[in-house]
Amino acid sequence: MTLSFDLTAEGARDALRARAAATEKPSLIGLTRAELGAALVAAGIVPERQAKMRAQQLWHWMYVRGVSDFAHMFNISKDLRAELDKHFTVARPEIVEEQISSDGTRKWLFRFPPRGAGRPVEIETVYIPEEGRGTLCISSQVGCTLTCSFCHTGTQKLVRNLTTEEILAQLLTARDRLGDFPDRDTPDGAMVPAEGRKVSNIVMMGMGEPLYNFEAVKKALLIASDGDGLSLSKRRITLSTSGVVPEIARTGEEIGVMLAISLHATNDDLRDLLVPINKKFPLKELIAACRAYPGLSNARRITFEYVMLKDVNDSLEDAKALVKLLKGIPAKINLIPFNPWPGTNYQCSDWETIEKFADYINNAGYASPIRTPRGRDILAACGQLKSESERMRKVDRLALEAMMIAGHGEA
Ligand code: SAH
Ligand code: SF4
């Protein structure tokens, strides 16, 4: 059974509007500790000598306790809480809709303010619970400037980059909704891993090219992995890129998370067609950047994503070429069954073909490479959304959901 909470109904809408209005105050989410202290001083509500201490205090409430209202920060005086509330916000974004699939997969539709883009923007975040872990698939941009021919996001115009706050908001709100902060109860009906953190892994595999929004993504991931805050291990954070070669080394050096590459083809002619950024940064450069990825080892492998497109890239010859291309790189291979979308010319490879391809890859030493699609029933239910809440065209949403759910990582 699929559960769907339409937050556009009843009084929820007004409450959300009030909250959205509150978010017009600058948010303290997404600032570094130093920026946080400086913001408090600049607002004239904290003296310089207290800035560091207050920043630390707020940091703890925001990222360890997951508080989204200054009123709940009990060790801060009432007067200061009132001042904080006058100048800033730590509120969550507007959740337009939350859906829960029978397999426990959850999907949220968030609405963020325009920030110069002309109209509010909507993005989706997907949570995939499995035995022993729960993965959150996060978006980095609204739309994408790249035009991978099998990806529907690629046919949408980029509306804008998400801010650090908006990237983190996806994680914070998911943890709220799953009861994944200390002292919070897990809501009824939430399917989560039996033990440990409910969101144990993040994958930057939602909408957008994270390396085209490098600074915001970097800041968000450094906050997400901060040991005194959200505390996600960098080994449990995977950033997926279509191959923005000049930023790959920086990803390892400055962010230090696991890397996934949307490879999809093993020769330049085909990759130029499927992933056109290949014309700018061809395979030779991409593979060289992978070999040189900082921190790469057998314990920290690069994940290569490979979408299975019927009669395009799915022959045994392709499998052989793939193994040859990756030789010597500590790698995992993820075969993603293609998720068709209205208007696409591609088809998903037959299951037999995928299995044959996978067998070859397996025999070459790569374990369980086929990624099982999750949350299919939420995709089906997507068409049942109320049209007033559906700013994104239905086809766009279906394709995005398919991509996010297929694209969840193995980290
Ligand atoms: N822009 C980044 C992050 C997106 S990750 C990137 O391209 O790496 C999402 C993954 O799903 C990528 O590997 C992407 O190539 C893949 N994908 C896109 N459209 C798909 C589709 N229709 N079916 C299956 N996988 C798809
Ligand atoms: Fe953008 Fe990634 Fe889709 Fe390519 S696959 S269009 S890079 S979101």
Provide mean pLDDT across the span 228-232.
Answer: 94
On whether 148 is known to bind a ligand per the annotation, the reply is: yes
User: How sure is the predictor about 232, in pLDDT bands with cuts at 50, 70 and 90?
Assistant: very high
Q: What pLDDT, on the 0 to 100 scale, is given for residue 342?
A: 81
Q: What pLDDT, on the 0 to 100 scale, is given for residue 8?
A: 46
Q: What pLDDT, on the 0 to 100 scale, is given for residue 370?
A: 82
Q: What pLDDT, on the 0 to 100 scale, is given for residue 187?
A: 63
Query: Could you identify the atom of ligand 2 that is nearest to the CA of residue 144?
Result: 1
Nearest residue by C-alpha to atom 8 in ligand 2:
208
Q: What pLDDT, on the 0 to 100 scale, is given for residue 390?
A: 37
Largest CA distance in the chain: 70
Please classify residue 60 by burial: count the beta carbons closer than 10 Å to its beta carbon, then call 0-12 exposed, 13-18 middle and 19+ buried: middle
Provide mean pLDDT across the span 144-172.
Answer: 88
Q: How many CA atoms lie within 13 A of 174 on its CB side?
A: 33
Q: What pLDDT, on the 0 to 100 scale, is given for residue 186?
A: 65
Nearest residue by C-alpha to atom 26 in ligand 1:
403
Provide mean pLDDT across the span 174-199.
Answer: 78
Q: What pLDDT, on the 0 to 100 scale, is given for residue 103?
A: 82
Q: What pLDDT, on the 0 to 100 scale, is given for residue 155?
A: 77
pLDDT tens profile 88-124: 999 999 999 998 888 888 999 999 988 776 788 888 8
Provide mean pLDDT across the span 179-185.
Answer: 78
Q: Is 382 a catalytic residue?
A: yes
Contacts of 316 (CB under 8 A, 6+ apart): 356, 357, 360
Q: DSSP readout, 113-138?
A: --TTSSS-EEEEEEEEEETTEEEEE-
Residue 208 alpha carbon to ligand 2 centre in Å: 6
Q: Quickly list H helices, 43-193.
A: 51-59, 78-87, 164-178
Where are the extended beta strands (E) located within 247-404?
258-262, 302-308, 331-337
Provide mean pLDDT across the span 144-165.
Answer: 86
User: How sure is the predictor about 389, in pLDDT bands with cuts at 50, 70 and 90?
Assistant: very low
Q: Is 352 a catalytic residue?
A: no
Count the Cβ atoms, other than its own, within 10 Å of residue 19.
Answer: 17
On whether 144 is known to bind a ligand per the annotation, the reply is: yes
Residues 59 and 38: their CA atoms lie apart, in Å, by: 14
Greater pLDDT, 235 or 400: 235
pTM of the model as a whole: 0.88
Phi first, then psi, for residue 262 (nearest 5°) are -80, 90
Q: What pLDDT, on the 0 to 100 scale, is given for residue 380?
A: 27
Greater pLDDT, 167 or 192: 167
Q: What pLDDT, on the 0 to 100 scale, is given for residue 382?
A: 25
Residues 258 and 235: their CA atoms lie apart, in Å, by: 6
Nearest residue by C-alpha to atom 3 in ligand 1:
205
Where are the extended beta strands (E) located within 309-403?
331-337
Residue 182 alpha carbon to ligand 2 centre in Å: 36
| Average pLDDT along the chain | 86
68 torsion bin: left (phi>0), alpha (psi -120 to 50), beta (else): alpha
Residue closest to 297 by CA, chosen among 321, 263, 332, 264: 332
Report the percent of the chain where pLDDT is more than 90.
66
Query: Could you identify the atom of ligand 1 that is nearest to the CA of residue 208?
Result: 1
Residue 279 alpha carbon to ligand 1 centre in Å: 18
Residue 262 alpha carbon to ligand 1 centre in Å: 7
Greater pLDDT, 180 or 318: 318
Among 247, 346, 403, residue to substitute to test ligand 1 (most atoms within 8 Å of Cβ):
403
- Starting from the edge strand earliest in sequence, which strands make up the sheet with 3-6, in order? 3-6, 94-100, 106-112, 121-130, 133-137, 201-204, 237-241, 258-262, 302-308, 331-337
pLDDT tens profile 290-316: 999 999 999 999 999 999 999 999 999
Q: What pLDDT, on the 0 to 100 scale, is given for residue 393?
A: 52
Residues 34 and 343: their CA atoms lie apart, in Å, by: 49
User: How sure is the predictor about 410, in pLDDT bands with cuts at 50, 70 and 90?
Assistant: very low
Q: What pLDDT, on the 0 to 100 scale, is given for residue 369?
A: 75
pLDDT tens profile 26-57: 999 999 999 999 999 999 999 999 999 999 99
Residue 155 alpha carbon to ligand 2 centre in Å: 9
Instruction: Find the length of the chain.
Output: 411
Least confident among 112-116, 199-203, 267-271, 286-290: 112-116
Among 147, 151, 271, 341, residue to substitute to test ligand 2 (most atoms within 8 Å of Cβ):
151
Catalytic residue (choose from 290, 348, 382, 401)? 382
Query: Could you identify the atom of ligand 1 that is nearest to the CA of residue 240?
Result: 8
